[in-house]
Structure 1
Amino acid sequence: MKITDIIQEDVVTVYLDDTILDVAEVFRNERVGSAVVLDAHDEILGVVTDRDLVVYGQNFVDSLEHTTVNEVLSTDVFSVAPDVSVEELAARMREAGVRRVPVVEDGDLRGIVTLDDLIVLLADEFDSQPLDDLAAVIESESPPKDGD
């Protein structure tokens, strides 16, 4: 199975020079815990998460209104093409230790796939009450998808 069925095409993005406070506001308004970080040319530089803001942002607690994403962003960019299989994506996420993966095609951001998306997919694939319960929690906490 390819990841094209679970790609979230409505990707929340922020820019490298946005402040941590700006990003936190985007997270709150969009009801997300991560955003793809772009440079001034809309090239993907990575993903910033709510955890990044809390763990690394605490170093800048006295200057949050001036601290930019650049100061808390990991420089490791991990992305996949839309034709990657779910199995390959899961293995690559495990190897890289990431929960969110931008989907890129010909240098353009096409979407994002998250660990939550994979859990919901697995719940649909297998007859498992525990997986169904996890999927229900995830879906209740997730922002609405296009068409919802």
Structure 2
Amino acid sequence: MAQRVRELMASAPVEMDARTSVHEAAKKMREADIGDVLVTENGTLCGIVTDRDIVVRALAATEDLSGHRLGDICSRQLITVRPDEDADDAIARMREHAIRRIAVVEDSRPVGMLSIGDAAVEKDPRSALADISAAPANA
């Protein structure tokens, strides 16, 4: 039987309001050992910010991040999947859109995050990506 997204996703994704400072989001990513946060406005999912976004869209643009908010730098063209979707279809969608992470949404609310690394660990455990993704984080 085909695997479903819910079998591969990380549940309870970190959500932060669009008005949250970039600095606060970076601290949360470090504390939670994650590479992304989902961005909400008025409780509705509106984007995603990755650690790379913080570097490329914020830090590279200015040294002073005090005025930058997540809503200023998040990717707003979200690609999402449902937890009951076929995992292979979700991976194909990630490939099609050249994204490494995809928000898992149910009833318009984020319920998880699927990363290409999570998928590799489960679906191709002998791959280099699976090895890297399964390794403990370096501090």
TM-score grouping bracket, smaller chain normalisation: 0.7 to 0.9
The Cα of 1:61 is off from its aligned counterpart by: 1.9
1:21-100 maps to which residues of 2 (within 5 A)? 21-39=23-41, 41-57=42-58, 58-62=60-64, 64-100=65-101
Runs of 4+ in 1 over 6 A off after TM superposition: none
Structure 1 CA distance, aligned partners of 2:132 and 2:62? 33
What is the aligned-residue RMSD (CA, Å)?
1.6
Residues 119-141 of structure 1, C-alpha deviations (whole Å, 9 max, x = no match): 101234xxx4xx2x542331223
Matched residue, 2:105:
104
Residues matched between the structures, number: 134
* SS, match of residue 51 in structure 1: helix
Structure 2 CA distance, aligned partners of 1:6 and 1:18? 29
Structure 2 CA distance, aligned partners of 1:26 and 1:43? 20
Matched residue, 1:141:
136
Give the TM-score, by structure 1 length: 0.83
Structure 1 CA distance, aligned partners of 2:76 and 2:132? 31
* SS, match of residue 111 in structure 1: strand
Percent identity of equivalent pairs = 26
Unpaired stretches in structure 2, ≥5 consecutive residues: none
Larger strand proportion of the pair: 2
Unpaired stretches in structure 1, ≥5 consecutive residues: 143-148
Query: Which amino acid in structure 1 is aligned with residue 54 of structure 2?
Result: L
* Equivalent pair of 2:21/2:69 in contact (CA under 8 Å): yes
Structure 1 CA distance, aligned partners of 2:53 and 2:40? 16
Query: Which amino acid in structure 2 is aligned with residue 76 of structure 1?
Result: Q
Structure 1 CA distance, aligned partners of 2:73 and 2:14? 18
* SS, match of residue 43 in structure 2: coil
The Cα of 1:79 is off from its aligned counterpart by: 0.8
Q: 1:8 aligns with which of 10, 24, 30?
A: 10
Structure 2 CA distance, aligned partners of 1:38 and 1:47? 9
Residues 68-90 of structure 1, C-alpha deviations (whole Å, 9 max, x = no match): 11111122021111121111111
* SS, match of residue 141 in structure 1: coil
Larger helix proportion of the pair: 1
Give the TM-score, by structure 2 length: 0.88
Structure 1 CA distance, aligned partners of 2:31 and 2:124? 28
